[in-house]
Amino acid sequence: MSGQPSSSGAAPFVLELAQIAKTYPGDPPVHALRDVNLQVRQGECLAVVGASGSGKSTLLSVMGTLDRQSRGVVRLAGFDTRTLSDEQLAALRARSIGFVFQQFFLLDNATALENVENGLLYTGVPKEERTRRAMAALERVGLGQRRQFLPVHMSGGERQRVAIARALIANPALVLADEPTGNLDTASGSDIVDLLLELNRQGTTVVVVTHDPTIAARIPRRIDVRDGQIVADSAVGGGRVQSDEAPAPQPSPERELPKTARLRPGDLARVAAFGLRSRRLRTALSALGIAIGVAAVVAVLGLSASSQAGLLQEIDRLGTNLLTVTPGSGMFGNSAELPTTAPGMITRMDGVRHVADIGGTDAEVFRSPLIPSYESGGLTVDATSLDLLSAIGTKMAQGRFLNAATAKEPVAVLGAAAARQLGIDRLFPGERIWLGGQWFYIAGILKPAALTPEIDSSVLVGFPAAEHYLGFDGHPTNIYVRTQQDSVQAVYGLLARQAYPESPSSVNVSQPSQALVARAAAKNAFTGLFVGLGAVALFVGGVGVANIMVISVLERRREIGLRRALGATRRLIRSQFLGEAILLSLGGGVVGIGGGALATLVYAWSRHWLVVVPLIAWTGGLAAALTIGAIAGYLPAKGAANLSPTEALRAL
């Protein structure tokens, strides 16, 4: 019975072909194989001989399950291949067949050891065991000392020995060698034949496809193929084998179906990374597009969050308990005027801690009297009470604020913006400005007042000095009220009536901290716009990844065919190329996150902001990179998986 020793003690059949035909569609159709019958016993060594185009390579593809026959039965290692799925056939190839090709089909950027390890990659053997057995296989073919060499640094004969070691590592039931000496010189070719014969003497079943009669003469059994038919078989007396001379293989006893080939997660990651590592420059340029897009998104979100954190930190520092009182409109639409008694009235309110006021004057200020009057720069001159700093929450940058003595004299204090506009960055003894047609000495310069920006562009003088030198009428234009934190709302509700009992509707009350909060909210609108621009950059990067993956599949068709011959299923090929696209995008995403975070750090540090990279920024960046990689790689990966193994192996 097939697959079992005969009563005479003959070895079981490893390979049985019955009535095999292979027809390729066309007009007219091409009949590559016609009624082929062949049986190969365990331990045999035979040569399939024929001229180019005779069908011998097609026959080998059918034997190795790389191509399915149009008609007939192929039984390999006791299994009827017609009943097996693609995954089961792949598992059968991984465990029962070793392929040796004329073109070697070694991965150029993998060492000899790594190339041989690939012979066990799709069998589920752990990495450590694969390495141990690969070293033993290389020793078996005499290349143990060359295991760390790349194929480019090896001779043709050595490369073919590596390919033979790869074919033998899984201890297959059958080794199929397709023109194994075709690309070698005579001496190297003879050595390869010697090696195959030696392996056969050790018990390996070997089928050699060749057009060289000299090689065929050294092999015990010879099969002659012409026009897709076996015309002679030395095992049956050298005559032509008729289609009815070899009976169809009989069913063998029930055997466990081949286990579906699977890749461990670590192996899948290594295979995907190898494809990227082999083309480093292209990989780096492709990842750059993703990195730029992710960096843009992370930087925008990070800078926005850092800016908002800076504003909120500033609000916390300055407090939300500052209220301002300004004049509104009068009964007839004219500008109202706050009473001179308003600051004193507000001081009497419960919950009020500090009250300060300023009053606008008509005076103009210049650096010197030589500057034309129309170049005032929009600076204002305001009279101020002496407790202004406590009320508005700012400090002196240089010099001193006004006191009871200097408030009566021609002495001024500059707001931060006013000092810059007047070109005064440092105070010198006797520093003065031309104010209201006379010289005023400068006592100090204020730090920026975040809650009261009108102070920044103001030149401040004391109330008595303003009345004496500038003709000020004494009416306040801004009153700043600092309350206790728990009294803000209560004071806010009563402040207008307290400031101007006769006409509370003529008073405007506001909370400056709300303006900062609104400014932080306004930044969100621009954040959305810039995130959208980053998304466009990500899209462009994704298109680049898809383009690279399409090119990669076209360039690596022979690798795909080799992996299919070694036992990779369509699903695993798809996973490999999809994994490459995801790793490529993920690498770009990680670089982009780092770049965006660094940009956020540098810019926020330069602005003295709290550095914040929100969770959504880097998790969103990673998620976007993974999604783009999966989408960009899906179609190329699907195309790679659908390639016919035989067509892929023939690709130039």
pLDDT tens-digit readout, 34-53: 999 999 999 999 999 988 88
* Contact criterion met (CB below 8 Å) for 320 and 424: no
Domain that holds residue 327: 319-512
Rounded Cα–Cα distance for residues 192 and 157 (Å): 7
In this predicted structure, what is the pLDDT of residue 7?
40
State mean pLDDT over 403-419.
95
Q: What DSSP character marks residue 373?
A: G
Residues 111 and 182 in one domain: yes
In this predicted structure, what is the pLDDT of residue 8?
46
pLDDT tops 80 at residue 381: yes
Residues 452 and 531 in one domain: no
Rounded Cα–Cα distance for residues 363 and 366 (Å): 10
Q: Which range, of 4-13, 18-27, 421-430, averages the lowest pLDDT? A: 4-13
Asked whether residue 270 is assigned to any structural domain, the reply reads no
Find the helix or strand (DSSP H, E) in which 282 lies. Answer: helix 280-318
In this predicted structure, what is the pLDDT of residue 524?
56
pLDDT tops 50 at residue 243: no
In this predicted structure, what is the pLDDT of residue 444?
96
Rounded Cα–Cα distance for residues 442 and 459 (Å): 10
In this predicted structure, what is the pLDDT of residue 101?
87
Q: Which two tokens stand for residue 472?
A: 């000020």
Q: Count the neighbouring beta carbons within 10 Å of the beta carbon of residue 423.
A: 7
Residues 403 and 417 in one domain: yes
Q: Reduced to 3 states, what is the DSSP secondary structure of residue 115?
A: helix
> For residue 175, what are the contacts with CB-CB under 8 A and spacing of at least 6?
97, 98, 99, 100, 164, 167, 168, 196, 199, 204, 205, 206, 207
Domain boundary among 512, 547, 566: 512
β-bridge partners, 452: none
What phi and psi values does residue 447 have, to the nearest 5 degrees?
-75, 160
CA distances in angstroms from 13 to 80, 223, 244, 544, 617, listed in the order given: 13, 17, 19, 52, 63
C-alpha 142, offset from chain centre:
43
Rounded Cα–Cα distance for residues 32 and 652 (Å): 21
Residues 478 and 560 in one domain: no
pLDDT category of residue 295 using cuts at 50, 70 and 90? confident
Asked whether residue 5 is assigned to any structural domain, the reply reads no
Q: Which residue has the higher pLDDT, 153 or 262?
A: 153
pLDDT tops 60 at residue 6: no
Asked whether residue 271 is assigned to any structural domain, the reply reads no
The pairing of strands 458-462 and 411-414 is antiparallel
Residues 233 and 209 in one domain: yes
Residues 285 and 163 in one domain: no
Average pLDDT over all residues of the chain: 85
- The four Cα atoms 273, 274, 276, 281 give a dihedral, to 10 degrees, of 130
Residue 154 sits in a domain whose CATH number is 3.40.50.300
Q: What percentage of the chain has pLDDT greater than the value 90?
A: 38
State mean pLDDT over 133-152.
92
- Cα Rg of the chain (Å, integer): 44
What phi and psi values does residue 76 have, to the nearest 5 degrees?
-120, 125
Asked whether residue 609 is assigned to any structural domain, the reply reads yes
Residues 283 and 380 in one domain: no
* Contact criterion met (CB below 8 Å) for 38 and 56: no
Q: Which two tokens stand for residue 323?
A: 């209220």
Asked whether residue 373 is assigned to any structural domain, the reply reads yes
Domain boundary among 480, 512, 544: 512
Rounded Cα–Cα distance for residues 464 and 376 (Å): 24
Q: Which two tokens stand for residue 498?
A: 């307290």
* Contact criterion met (CB below 8 Å) for 310 and 608: yes
Q: What's the pLDDT tens digit per position in 609-630?
A: 778 888 888 888 888 888 888 9
pTM for this model (two decimals): 0.69
State mean pLDDT over 580-592.
90
Q: What are the residue ranges of helices labelled H in 141-202?
A: 156-168, 186-201
The pairing of strands 478-483 and 352-360 is antiparallel
In this predicted structure, what is the pLDDT of residue 440?
97
Half-sphere exposure of 495 (CA within 13 A, CB side): 27
Q: What's the pLDDT tens digit per position in 82-99?
A: 888 888 888 889 888 999
C-alpha 285, offset from chain centre:
12
Find the helix or strand (DSSP H, E) in which 397 lies. Answer: strand 396-399
pLDDT tops 60 at residue 499: yes
In this predicted structure, what is the pLDDT of residue 480?
94
pLDDT tops 60 at residue 523: no
Q: Which residue has the higher pLDDT, 326 or 257?
A: 326
Asked whether residue 265 is assigned to any structural domain, the reply reads no
Q: Is 277 left (phi over 0), alpha (psi -120 to 50) or beta?
A: alpha
Residues 117 and 150 in one domain: yes
State mean pLDDT over 193-208.
90
* Contact criterion met (CB below 8 Å) for 633 and 582: yes
Please name the residue that has the structure tokens 């035979």: 46
Residues 118 and 216 in one domain: yes
Residues 26 and 116 in one domain: yes
pLDDT tops 90 at residue 411: yes
β-bridge partners, 461: 383, 412
Q: What are the residue ranges of helices labelled H in 556-644?
A: 557-566, 570-606, 615-641
pLDDT tops 60 at residue 652: no
In this predicted structure, what is the pLDDT of residue 461?
97
Q: Which two tokens stand for residue 11?
A: 């070895």
Q: Is the dihedral of CA 331, 332, 336, 339 positive or negative?
A: negative
In this predicted structure, what is the pLDDT of residue 469?
94
Residues 176 and 230 in one domain: yes
Residues 109 and 60 in one domain: yes
Q: What DSSP character marks residue 478?
A: E
In this predicted structure, what is the pLDDT of residue 251?
47
Q: Which range, of 30-44, 45-59, 257-271, 555-569, averages the lowest pLDDT? A: 257-271
Asked whether residue 305 is assigned to any structural domain, the reply reads yes
Asked whether residue 440 is assigned to any structural domain, the reply reads yes
Domain boundary among 512, 537, 562: 512
pLDDT tops 50 at residue 650: yes
Number of domains observed in the structure of the chain: 3
Q: Which two tokens stand for residue 549?
A: 């993956």
